[in-house]
Amino acid sequence: MKKLRLSKKGKRLIAIGGVILLLILAIVFIFSMNKGKKNNVEKEIGKEVKEEVVEEKKIQIINLDSNSRNIAVMINNIKNVWGYQSGLQDAYLVYEMIVEGGFTRLMAIYKDQTTERIGSVRSARPYYLDYALENDALYIHFGGSEQALSEIKSFGIQDIDFLSSAGYWRDKSLKLATEHTAFTSMEKIKEQVEKRGYRVTSEEKPVLNYSADEIDLSKEEGSIVANQVYIAYSSNRNTSFTYDSEQKVYKRSQNGKEHTDYVTKEQYTAKNIITYQVENYSLDSYGRQALKNIGSGTGYFITNGYARQITWEKKDRSSKTVYKYLNGEEVKVNDGNTYIEIQPKDKTLTIE
């Protein structure tokens, strides 16, 4: 067979073709690599954007990353001061319980606030200490019952008693009896805290579990409509909440009268309500009360126009109250302020 011989020119053309082919293959390879890198970069960017969206969805009512200590302030709630109360809108948590005379008193819990007017500030009662303790809070009050003052010492509660210290002023322009005119501010409280060298940080978690995602109880089994909530404390004292479906909050009233702030003139509202009943009894002829609030029982968690039955358990005076649904699942509350209404047993509770 005759062999095929290539000329020098043919051999050169084949070599050049091979080089061109290799270049084409190299370009295709580089392009595919860059495309892969681009896809990976786009995926990473997409992942970062997604992560940023998740990070932005943080609880707003309090900074869960902050280790600043809670501050609990006893707030006067006798009828004479309605319309003059100040600063409750900045409290992320408020407790209401009965005191002597069938009235109630409020204890407002603040964290990382700069509120300029809080009050009027009133005296300590023993069972309020249990909720200052469960919040690891500095306790602010103006005097107190003998038992409360004794237990503040025995429990080692760090407190500021305006009966024997500075940190408040009298607003005589209100033309109220002197005991109803003591107001304070976060600045004045912090000055007194610093002066005493009290601990200002806490590693304790909040009493309540907050959900960044909106909780919709309407979808839960056993939930009931809760557009109106009525809580009686005595024959002459009640608290009620009316749901505002546009703002998705409950507007607070006392004895049918809108509960408003003296400074803002706006009605107080709540995002969440927890209410349950405990037995109460009188301690003395003055009518000071005691509550059987250590133990367990049932109540309701109310938010966004619906209520669901829950259980509560407080093992001892300093332990946190644990709230669960009847199926044992721990309650999560919506991102917003909460009123905990601890009602005397067998008093009227209406949810409709």
Q: Would you state the pLDDT for residue 4?
A: 44
CB 271 within 8 A of CB 303: yes
Q: Would you state the pLDDT for residue 57?
A: 83
Place of tokens 């020119």: 9
Dihedrals φ, ψ of 3, to 5°? -75, 145
pLDDT category at 34 given cuts 50, 70, 90 is low
Verify cis geometry, omega within 30 degrees of 0, for the bond prior to 218.
no
In three-state secondary structure terms, 27 is helix
Does residue 51 sit within a domain? no
Q: Would you state the pLDDT for residue 3?
A: 44
pLDDT category at 6 given cuts 50, 70, 90 is very low
Does residue 10 sit within a domain? no
Does residue 162 sit within a domain? yes
Q: What is the residue-averaged pLDDT of the chain? A: 90
Does residue 189 sit within a domain? yes
DSSP state of 180: G
The number of folded domains in the chain is: 1
Model's pTM, two decimal places? 0.84
Q: Would you state the pLDDT for residue 21?
A: 57
Does residue 126 sit within a domain? yes
Does residue 84 sit within a domain? yes
Least confident stretch, 6-10, 95-99, 138-142, 208-212: 6-10
Least confident stretch, 35-44, 107-116, 234-243: 35-44
Rg of the chain over all Cα atoms, to the nearest angstrom: 32
Q: Which among 180, 134, 130 is positioned nearest to 290, based on CA atoms?
A: 130
Residue 225 has pLDDT above 90, yes or no: yes
Residue 267, domain CATH:
3.50.90.10
Q: In whole angstroms, how far apart are CA 170 and each of 89, 120, 166, 262, 295?
A: 21, 9, 11, 15, 39
Q: What does the alpha-carbon distance between residue 250 and residue 253 come to, in Å, rounded to a whole number? A: 10
pLDDT category at 320 given cuts 50, 70, 90 is very high
Domain that holds residue 107: 71-351
Does residue 132 sit within a domain? yes
Q: Count Cβ atoms below 10 Å from residue 58 Cβ, excluding itself.
A: 12
Does residue 179 sit within a domain? yes
Q: What is the pLDDT of residues 126-174, one digit of tens each?
A: 999 999 999 999 999 999 999 999 999 999 999 999 999 999 999 999 9
Q: What is the pLDDT of residues 68-89, one digit of tens each?
A: 999 999 999 999 999 999 999 9
Instruction: Return the higher-pLDDT residue of 47 and 90.
Output: 90
Instruction: Return the higher-pLDDT residue of 256 and 48.
Output: 256
